Amino acid sequence: MAGPLLIRPRAVLQREGLVPGLEVLLDGEVVASVGRGLAAADVLDLPDVVLAPGFVDLHVHELGGAGVLDAERPDLPALARALAAGGTTAFLATTAAAPIAELERVLQHVATAQPANPSGARCLGVHLEGPWLAPARAGAQPTAHLAAPAVADLARLLDAGPVRMVTLAPELPGAMELIEYAVSRGVVVALGHSDCDYRTAGAAVDAGARHVTHCFNAMSPLHHREPGLAGAALDLDVSVELIADGEHLHPATARLIHRAVGPSRACLVSDAVDRGARPDGVLAGAAVTQAAGVRNLVSWGIPLEHALTMAAATPASVIGHEAVIRPGAPGDLVAVDDAGRLVATWVAGVRT
């Protein structure tokens, strides 16, 4: 095993912002020390980069040809490696609408997969994007597999494996009961693929929902007399996903989300599926990494420290994870230049 590594960047992202002159000592899998004037035999000088916590992707289906969309052949190790190459050090493996039995197989696979992947991102559990979605806002989701919310189905899936997040449409019959049950079991409920009005979104938040999936995409739009789910996402006390690939959102819309909710509520996700738009013009996920999203956000005028927070600390906090650089924290780090371009990634203290 290599000895301690001292990294000397231009600045380190801390809770208070970018702090110039800090140094970070990695020892084994963890951050051993953060400060000035540190010493180690192995020193990496990076005077032109910012060091930040590794990115946390709450919404990723497939990348590099690997993922969990194929219930018969999910490949978490390959997905984890592809994600680490794009700066993501932890993620939720995200499904699409499918029969409950298929979703069970995915969850069982994740539950029995190797807990550590030294060359790839850490899988923190599963995000069920469906099957409890509105047909009118299904987007590229397979409508044949959409279903009405049922507590018994969610209970069955929770028994199968580590469900950390569920996306659902709150206007569907049974949705409020499912939200309350999911929250009672420690699952984060996200609102998405929904045609609900503002009042229904508010009722769902009152029931325990606290996240919105890919804001403005596959949801009732913002209108000045009926704000819909998009307006509720900006107005209510929830965290909000955005996809910064330049296709799902106009740069001005991304800036609007940032200004409305701030970096403490905005979560940069990839929604990666390796495919992009379908022939009929419907967006079927994105073909972008979180690192590319950070770079885009910076080019659209969002401050670098905010873009990095939106890719790491904020999404981590949604699921009770921590993405921070402090003594004792996991050695999950990224180095980026001032334009947000990825320079290096470390997972558990190992450069990928």
- For the record, the structure tokens of 49 come out as 């980069």
CA-based nearest residue to 290, from 311, 310, 260: 311
Sign of CA dihedral 100, 105, 108, 110: negative
DSSP letter (8 states) at residue 292: H
- For the record, the structure tokens of 119 come out as 């060359």
What lies within 8 Å, CB to CB, of 131 at 6+ separation is 97, 98, 99, 100, 103, 145, 146, 147
Position 21: which residue type? G
Q: Are 4 and 40 in contact (CB under 8 A)?
A: yes
The alpha helices in 6-112, defined as continuous H runs, are 76-85, 100-112
Q: What Rg, from alpha-carbon coordinates, does the chain have?
A: 20
Catalytic residue among 271, 274, 280, 332: 271
d(Cα 19, Cα 341) in Å, to the nearest integer? 19
Q: Would you call 342 helix, strand, or coil by DSSP?
A: strand
Query: Tokens 């230049």 label which residue?
Result: 337
Told to judge if 271 belongs to the known catalytic residues of this protein, a careful annotator would answer: yes
Q: Are 284 and 276 in contact (CB under 8 A)?
A: yes
CA dihedral 276, 281, 284, 287 (to 10 degrees): 10
Q: Which residues are catalytic?
A: 271
